[in-house]
Chains A and B, each alone.
Chain A
Amino acid sequence: MKCIQVREKLEAFSDDEIGFSERENIASHLANCESCGSEFEGLKSLSKAMKNTLPMSASASLDAKVFEAFESHNAVATAVVTEEKQEKIGWFGIPKLAFAAALLLLAMFSGFAFQLGRMSVGNVQENLAEKDRKSVEENKSKSSEFVVTNKTDSEEKEKKVETKIVEVPVIKERIIKIPVVQEKIVTRTIYVDRNQKVNKPNLSGKDNLALNNSVKDGEFLTQTNLKDFQPVTEIKPKISKEK
């Protein structure tokens, strides 16, 4: 190693902040080179002198102050902990957490009971609906029988005519869901010529209708009337029969 290279790393070498291989190279150079060696010695002695002269200790009054602060902080911390504990115990000495848990359980139970009630009402409704369905089916079967018996009666009347068994399909009722027709709003724009002095039209009642009817294409009018376009609100569901 050259002297310049060694001088660059001399401080790191004296501070023990250098790799092992480089350390060996620098050490061997210092053993042979007098000027680098003396510089290294200077660094070491300076560091030694500083270590010997600079350290010092604080006074005892500092210790007292710091320990006093420690004690007071501990006292405050314990007071805070006890306050927190007291806060946790809520009304009538019941801990808040337990109270919250009880409330939650109560809410869950009431919800469960409500659900049970709804289920029982639904069952009753279903039973009623089933009964209705059965009665309807019975009526239909009676009607079909009636048709068949009618045919047999006619055969009896015309004895010579060959008898034929006619299969009459059972008519079933089926409820078809009809989608609700959405309201449709139709607007009409009336243009009024700004140049012409026109009195403001009365928009209420028949006058307004008359005005709207009197509108012609190409005329400038400015008014809308929605009263004529009543939305379809009630549509009765229709029952169609499937063959």
Chain B
Amino acid sequence: MKREIEQNLIKRACNGDKEAFSEIYFSLKDSIFGFAFRMINKRGIAEEITQEVFIFFIENSDKYDFEKGNLFSFLCGVARNKILNHLKKSGTRLESNNFESERFENFANNHSPFRNLLNKEFSAKIEECMAELSPLQREVLLLRELEDLPYEEIAEITETSVGVVKGRLFRARRTLAKELTPYVKSEEVLYEVHTS
């Protein structure tokens, strides 16, 4: 979303324009929810956090500073604080076995049974490896890989420096590469065999 359009929408939403708010909401809710869900790995809590984030925006939309960054970064920062608070309170790490079956439904559509099986296995492996990462490494990796955010923006959201972001990203990728490289290669080969 372009900056000017976003500003205009936010102003309108501040004045109670439902249409403007819904445009903002539908453009950002999946990203916020995805981030929360990958961090906590529980749909219910992730939805709660997403809801809280948007309610926070509704109540404090007039306090949002356009110059400090785009709205997604702002809301992502709010979501991050809530996620870390939840993790601190629960004192639990992500469990690799605690997957919910519904996340695989996305991949079950429009693919052959073989492809679906492959995707399921691969995504399960990715989930497992993500669970191995510390929350701080995980958040950096998610913001980079899923949202394509630049290092600077990630540093702003995570309240660190670009150097720290680079370091966390490097370590997270090393950990994932160790586990996933064989799968990635085999998946590519299998995919090529299957499609040919």
| Chain A residues within 8 Å of B, Cβ to Cβ | 11-12, 15, 17, 42-43, 45-47, 49-51, 53-59, 61-63, 65-67, 69-71, 73-74, 77-78
B146 touches A51 (CB 8 A): yes
| Chain B residues within 8 Å of A, Cβ to Cβ | 16, 18, 21-22, 25, 29-30, 33-34, 37-38, 43, 46-47, 50-51, 54-55, 58-59, 103, 106-107, 119, 122-123, 126, 141-142, 144-146, 150-151, 166, 169-170, 173, 176-177, 180-181, 184-185, 187-188
A66 touches B54 (CB 8 A): yes
| Chain A binding surface SS class | helix
B170 touches A56 (CB 8 A): no
B123 touches A53 (CB 8 A): yes
B33 touches A62 (CB 8 A): yes
Contacts of A63 in B (CB 8 A): 25, 29
A56 touches B150 (CB 8 A): no
A42 touches B126 (CB 8 A): no
A62 touches B119 (CB 8 A): no
Shortest CB distance B8–A (Å): 18
Q: CB within 8 A of B169: which of A11, A62, A65, A66? A: A11
> For residue A43, which residue of chain B has the nearest CB?
B173
B146 touches A70 (CB 8 A): no
CA distance A12 to B165 in the complex (A): 11
B177 touches A46 (CB 8 A): yes
6 tightest A-B CB contacts, nearest first = A58-B33, A53-B123, A74-B16, A50-B145, A66-B54, A45-B184
A67 touches B30 (CB 8 A): no
> For residue A48, which residue of chain B has the nearest CB?
B184
A56 touches B51 (CB 8 A): no
User: When A46-B184, A50-B146, A69-B54 are in contact, do A57 and B30 touch as well, CB less than 8 Å?
Assistant: yes
> Can you list 5 A-B contacts (CB < 8 A)?
A11-B169, A55-B34, A57-B33, A62-B47, A71-B18
CA distance A69 to B22 in the complex (A): 12
A73 touches B145 (CB 8 A): no
Other than the known A15-B144, A46-B180, A78-B16, what 9 A-B pairs have Cβ atoms closer than 8 Å? A11-B169, A45-B185, A53-B122, A54-B145, A57-B30, A58-B47, A58-B50, A66-B51, A70-B21
